[in-house]
Amino acid sequence: MSAIEQYLGLTARQAIDRVLARARAYVEHETPSGASEAIAALGAVIAAHLEACGAVVRVIDAPGAGVNLHARMGDGDDAPVLVLAHMDTVHPFGTLAARPIRIEDGRAYGPGIYDMKTGLALAIEAPAWLHERGRRPRRPVELLITCDEEIGSHTSRAAIEEGARRAAAVLVPEPCLPDGGVKTFRKGVATYVLEAAGVAAHAGIDGTQAVSATAELVQALVTVLTLADHERGTTLNIGTITGGTASNVVAAQARAVVDVRIAEPPEGERVHAAMLALRARNPKADLKVWRSEHRPPLVRTDAVAAVYATARRFAARLGVDLTEGGTGGGSDGSFAAAVGAATLDGLGPRGGGAHAIDEHIILHDLPFRLALLAGLYEEL
């Protein structure tokens, strides 16, 4: 029997079946971001599961988005461990019918199974396992399960930050790194919208009287691209450009959306100031710029490193060398880290295909993920 099986008191197959059954139940509730009724229905299921573990659950209405759930397990006044997870996915209704859950070659496939319904299942299976064995977390554990992570966490950010400020540590069971390592670093993410307005005219007849919105936009975007600093990890991507009505009409409107990734908070401030300072070059034109989404970076501070060290020591007891690393993608863990919380991300399953048609998890990894999360509840 492996060290993981000894700790869990379960065979690997039993542990896999437990986590997979819970993950399947959550995947079979399709919850595209913004589908408030569907998300509220899954929230009711999850609330019942948490109450069965002895948790006190509070359902927080999020108009237009669904519900956010706050659950607390354990007694005492110690600062809690906060676990962050989300219910929403990027997959539209009907995806499950087109691509139902299937098991193939040691992997489970399904929409949202990797990002992040199996991580959500692990976050709940761990306290369920502790509860049925009469074991208790070392300190209170709070779970904040949100409904809008995939679209910016607008209804949940304040709760995330408030909970993180009170927490001794924050754990995020988003997918791990490809090699199984946890995430002690994430880039910050910002989305900027640029809208140019000009004066339309016939391109061949009234061109001298016209003001091209597309020309203004292109000139601004040339400046935008100079803001990248790859040595500091700052990248910019012009994701979409729209504008104009026909090739022989000077465009009156044009629009672009720019994705910015930064590794250091000062870089975010530099880019933000430069983006808002953009101006139209033609006095008859207008250029508006605003930031529509923003997640700060998760910086590897000493506090983050300390939580990772605890996780690595416990993983070593299970016979696993738990590595660490970073990613360019954002998560709610970034909000927690930005207010000073000791945040460890990437505690979820191995797999791949996030947001894609081949989204999947690797089954043999699940016992370790369950044991690691339960162990952190007991150790932190």
Write the pLDDT tens digit of every residue in 182-200: 999 999 999 999 999 999 9
Task: Give the pLDDT band (50/70/90) at residue 83.
Answer: very high
Residue 203's pLDDT is what? Answer: 86
Q: How many Cβ atoms from other residues are within 10 Å of residue 148's Cβ?
A: 24
Q: Report the phi/psi class of residue 296: left, alpha or beta, with left for phi > 0 and alpha for psi in -120 to 50.
A: beta
Which spans in 263-345 are helix H?
Answer: 265-276, 302-317, 332-338
Residue 244 contacts residue 251 (beta carbons within 8 Å):
yes
The pLDDT of 71-97, averaged and rounded, is 95
Mean pLDDT over each residue of the chain, to the nearest integer: 96
Q: Torsion angle of alpha carbons 351, 356, 357, 361, nearest 10°?
A: 10
Tokens representing 212 are 């091209």
Tokens representing 169 are 């540590």
Domain ranges of the chain: 3-187+297-379, 188-295
Q: What does CATH list as the number for 3-187+297-379?
A: 3.40.630.10
Highest CATH level, class, for 188-295: alpha beta
Residue 148's pLDDT is what? Answer: 97
Helix, coil or strand: residue 33: coil
Residue 330's pLDDT is what? Answer: 87
Residue 80's pLDDT is what? Answer: 97
Q: What is the pLDDT of residues 36-61, one digit of tens each?
A: 999 999 999 999 999 999 999 999 99
Using CA atoms, how far apart are residues 259 and 276, in angstroms rounded to an integer?
15
Residue 115 contacts residue 174 (beta carbons within 8 Å):
yes
Residue 207's pLDDT is what? Answer: 65
Backbone φ and ψ of 172, nearest 5°: -130, 110
Helix, coil or strand: residue 249: strand
Residue 177's pLDDT is what? Answer: 97
Q: What is the pLDDT of residues 213-259, one digit of tens each?
A: 999 999 999 999 999 999 999 999 999 999 999 999 999 999 999 99
What's the residue count for the chain?
A: 380
Do the two domains 3-187+297-379 and 188-295 of this chain adopt the same fold?
Answer: no
Q: What is the pLDDT of residues 255-304, one digit of tens each?
A: 999 999 999 999 999 999 999 999 999 999 999 999 999 999 999 999 99
Residue 75's pLDDT is what? Answer: 84
The pLDDT of 63-72, averaged and rounded, is 97
Residue 208's pLDDT is what? Answer: 74
Task: Write down the pTM of the prediction.
Answer: 0.93
Residue 206 has pLDDT above 80, yes or no: no
Percentage of residues in the chain having pLDDT higher than 70: 99
Task: Give the pLDDT band (50/70/90) at residue 1.
Answer: confident
Helix (H) or strand (E) holding 83, with range, is: strand 81-86
Percentage of residues in the chain having pLDDT higher than 90: 95
